[in-house]
Every structure is written in structure tokens, then in C-alpha cells.
Amino acid sequence: MGSVEIETQATTARVLEEKIRTRRAKVGIIGLGYVGLPLAVEFAKAGFNVTGIDLSDAKTAGVNAGNSYVGDVASATLAPLVHSGKLRATTDFSVIRDLDTINICVPTPLRKTKDPDMSYIVSACGEIAKYFHTGMLAILESTTYPGTTDEVVLPMLEQGGLKVGQDFFLCFSPERVDPGNPKYNTSNIPKVVGGVTPACSEMGRLFYAQALEKVVAVSSTQVAEMVKLLENTFRMINIGLANEIALMCDRMGINVWEVIDAAATKPFGFMPFYPGPGLGGHCIPIDPFYLSWKTKQAGIEARFIELAGYINGQMPHFVVDKIQNALNDHSKPVKGSHVHILGVAYKKNIEDVRESPALDIMLLLKRRGARVTYSDPHVPTLQLDGLKLAAGDIGNVAAADCAVIVTDHAGFDYPKIVEHAKLIVDTRNALKGITSDKIVRL
Ligand SMILES: NC(=O)c1ccc[n+]([C@@H]2O[C@H](COP(=O)([O-])OP(=O)(O)OC[C@H]3O[C@@H](n4cnc5c(N)ncnc54)[C@H](O)[C@@H]3O)[C@@H](O)[C@H]2O)c1
């Protein structure tokens, strides 16, 4: 490599560093969902000019009108950033010609076969590659299997002849956002970042340090990818253990919630996880299968993941059996009974119903002939088996043969629910401390 070439590379890095430090770097966020929109807002708040790119006209129009569709982003926060010109959204990828950085926050679902669906990442990178240019920093944030950034994204960005670590910089940074968490948000959750080369890691660290409180740089993209999968696999397996303990306790007539609360008084070596109606959301039920798919190629069966996946997947069936038994004890066959579901979001105080176990429970109940209604202060309408359902009011609790607490939203008035219901199945221990013959706990 000649001295002129080395000097040019150093200049490319220095120019980008300078733009980032002075917040003149033009930031692009691809995918304006639960992850991308809060990130766009943080960088706009930090003083950067941010352009969000999404395929959805409705989302880009919402952002440009200052209307947030993500629970953790208040329109009151979004609108001033849009009106001051710091944040805008578009469906046009050609704006990438003028951008300095790009964060990719597109979905990574599983196929029906539980194989990773890389199509969103590949499609986004295909568009980015058309307009990619010297001096850019690209960071993949979508949760994925170890190796994706180097094996899938890197070749697509290098196809125009640019060289990573010299002409452009590429990192992976897992997103750890916890929707509905009032204490931790995008800005105060430590951000792990790993680059393809040391220069890439350093550029990624510098970038996030401008807008987020703490950045943890790691040595490679694979380490950063694996960090996210360890975190979510840890959670999925421990929830699987709590669910299996709940099944055992149920068989033995022991209150599992009391057991866990008492065990949690141990000041070391124990961390409480809780059973429930099943896993939900875009992350915990899905991400570990990205890891098991990849490790299979290396000849290792991820047996903990498969086992926890099986146990967690049984929980909606267990809950429905519990409801059926409770109705039988009241001389009501499930067929023809009215069951009212309280909470359909996959976790409390949010509006997201992706992979929610409530949907499985409602479908299973319908298949057994029950008439099913629901209420949820965060979910006014719901698509179930091709039908659009509207949330009923809480008055349904009194009318129903059985009410089922599937999601323990803070907005429910639990003492009132107990007062009016004929029978309640509580899958979340939301009625902790309330004693009544009407209550059947998980
Ligand atoms: N939601 C969470 O709590 C969470 C937490 C951590 C990590 N993640 C991960 O972050 C990633 C994004 O998740 P999310 O919850 O924000 O998803 P989301 O569905 O809310 O948002 C993704 C957005 O990307 C857009 N999109 C899809 N394909 C595109 C393309 N080719 N070009 C541009 N935009 C495109 C969609 O229209 C959508 O607005 C996933 O990999 C997910 O696993 C999510």
C-alpha cells in the first residue's frame, strides 16, 4: 500500500470522526419501528440531522406529521424535532447519497420452519448498496445470528469496490430496548458495539457516545451479535424453567408464586423469573432460534433452547386446560361459555400484540366452542384468525362465565374485577394478596 493511499484512508476516517464529533454527520435510520424510531429521536435530540427511511407510507407520514405510533416515543417529543427540521422520514432510499451514517433496524422474524428470515436485511442492504459511498458508517441493529454482519451485509456493501475499515466502517450493535419500561430507554441502556475492523469498532463507539449514556465496545461483530443472543436466550430458558416449575407445582398443589417470592429473598445466587401464559413479543420467543439454527451448522444441537421452546409453547394449552377445568368445577362446559380475556398485549403496559400468547389462548378457546371477548386499555382492536375484534368494556367481566388475566396491565382495577367476576383465572399473579374462592391461579 502506497503512502498516498494510507494518507487518503486516514483522511476518510478523520473526516467522518470530525463530522460525528461536531454532530454535523447526517444520520440515517432504516426501519422506523419500535427500535428505529426511538433511536432516530435520540440522535435528533443530540443535535444531529436525522433521516428515517421506511417502506411504510403510513409510518413516514406519521413521523413527518409529528405523530408517534410507538408507545415509548411521545408525540410531544417527536413533533418539535420534526418541526425544527432535525428529524424527517422518507420512503426514498436515494437520500443515502447525502448521509454519513446508517443504522439498519429492520425486522428479523423466523420462517414457519423456525429458520431465520434474512429477507428484510438483504432487501434493505440491496437498497443501501445502490447509494453507498466513501466515508460512511453502517451499523446493523437487527437481532440476528453470529456472522450475519460479516457474511451477509459486508459483501453487499463492498460490491461497489469500497474497502471496509478504509473507505467505510461497518459494525453490529444489538438493540436492547425494553418497551414499556419506565426506567430504561434507548438513551440510558448501555450500548454494545463491535466492528469488522478495530477502526470500525472505534467509529461505532464514537458515534453512539454522542447520543447515548454508555457505550461498550467489543472486539468483533460476532461478539456483539452473540451478546444479544446470550441475553435473550438466558431469559427464554429461565422463563422456561419457571414455567416448568409452575407445571410441577400445579400437579402438587403448591402456590408457585409464593415459592418464587420466598426463593428471591436469597441475597445471592438466585434471580427470580416468573411463569406465565407463554412467551410473546418480537424477541424472546424468536431470537434463541437464530442461535440454534446457526449452531446446528457447527454440529452443536442447542438442547436447552429447544427444550425451553417446547415448555414455553405448552403454556397457552395449559392455561386453556386450566380455564376449562375451572368452568367444569362451576358446572359450565367450555363449549358455549363466555370467556373474557383481560389484556392481549404480550406484556404489561404496552400495545404490542406480536406473538402474544393471548392470541393462542383466544384461538384455542374458540376451537373448544367458547364465546371469547377481550378488553385491553392499550389495544382497541385485534386481528384474530382473519376477524377484526374490538375491545369490549370492562363490564364484560361481570357478564362472562370466566375472566382470564393474560396481561397484567397497571390500568386494570383488580379489586373491582374480583368483586364483579364470577370466576377468574389469573396467569400473572396480578391478584397477589387478594383472597377469594373465585380466583384460580397459575
Ligand atoms: N421491539 C423490540 O423490543 C426489540 C428489542 C430489541 C431488538 N429488536 C430487534 O430490532 C429489529 C427491529 O425490530 P422492531 O421491533 O423495531 O420491528 P418493527 O416491525 O417495529 O419495525 C421495523 C420497521 O422496518 C420497516 N422495514 C421493513 N423492511 C424494510 C426495508 N427493507 N427497508 C426499510 N424499512 C423496512 C418496517 O416497515 C417497520 O417500520 C428486529 O431485528 C428485532 O428483533 C426489537
CA 152 – ligand 1 centroid, Å = 18
Q: Is 31 in the pocket of ligand 1 (CB under 6 A)?
A: yes
Bridge partners (DSSP) of residue 441 are 426
Q: Is 116 in the pocket of ligand 1 (CB under 6 A)?
A: no
Best of 95, 105, 149, 291 for a ligand 1 pocket test (most atoms within 8 Å of beta carbon): 105
- The per-residue pLDDT of the chain, averaged, comes to 95
Kindly state the cell numbers that stand for 238: 429461565
CA-to-CA distance for 89 and 91, rounded, in angstroms? 7
Contact 371, 340 (CB under 8 A): no
* Tens-place pLDDT, residues 340-384: 999 999 999 999 999 999 999 999 999 999 999 999 999 999 999
Q: Is 40 in the pocket of ligand 1 (CB under 6 A)?
A: no
Which atom of ligand 1 has the smallest separation from the CA of 53? Answer: 33
Whether the per-residue pLDDT at 217 is higher than 70: the answer is yes
CA 108 – ligand 1 centroid, Å = 7
Which atom of ligand 1 has the smallest separation from the CA of 36? Answer: 16
CA 8 – ligand 1 centroid, Å = 36
Mean pLDDT for 286-299 is: 92
Which residue has the least CA distance to atom 21 on ligand 1?
33
Answer yes or no: 105 catalytic. Answer: no
In terms of Cβ atoms closer than 10 Å to its own Cβ (0-12, 13-18, 19+), residue 80 is: middle
Q: Is 108 in the pocket of ligand 1 (CB under 6 A)?
A: yes
* Tens-place pLDDT, residues 135-145: 999 999 999 99
CA 119 – ligand 1 centroid, Å = 12
Whether the per-residue pLDDT at 5 is higher than 90: the answer is no
Q: Which of 125, 249, 283, 402 is catalytic?
A: 283
Mean pLDDT for 178-182 is: 86
Which atom of ligand 1 has the smallest separation from the CA of 176? Answer: 6
Give me the pLDDT at residue 413, please: 95
CA-to-CA distance for 424 and 402, rounded, in angstroms? 6
Whether the per-residue pLDDT at 3 is higher than 70: the answer is no
Q: Is 240 in the pocket of ligand 1 (CB under 6 A)?
A: no
Which residue has the least CA distance to atom 27 on ligand 1?
106
Kindly state the cell numbers that stand for 357: 400468547
HSE of 140, CA atoms in CB hemisphere, 13 A:
36
Whether the per-residue pLDDT at 43 is higher than 60: the answer is yes
Q: How far is CA 293 from CA 63, 236, 368, 372, in A?
A: 36, 16, 34, 37
CA 312 – ligand 1 centroid, Å = 24
Mean pLDDT for 300-316 is: 95
Q: How far is CA 180 from CA 204, 371, 442, in A?
A: 27, 30, 24
Whether the per-residue pLDDT at 4 is higher than 80: the answer is no
CA 121 – ligand 1 centroid, Å = 10
Which residue has the least CA distance to atom 36 on ligand 1?
31
CA-to-CA distance for 216 and 210, rounded, in angstroms? 13
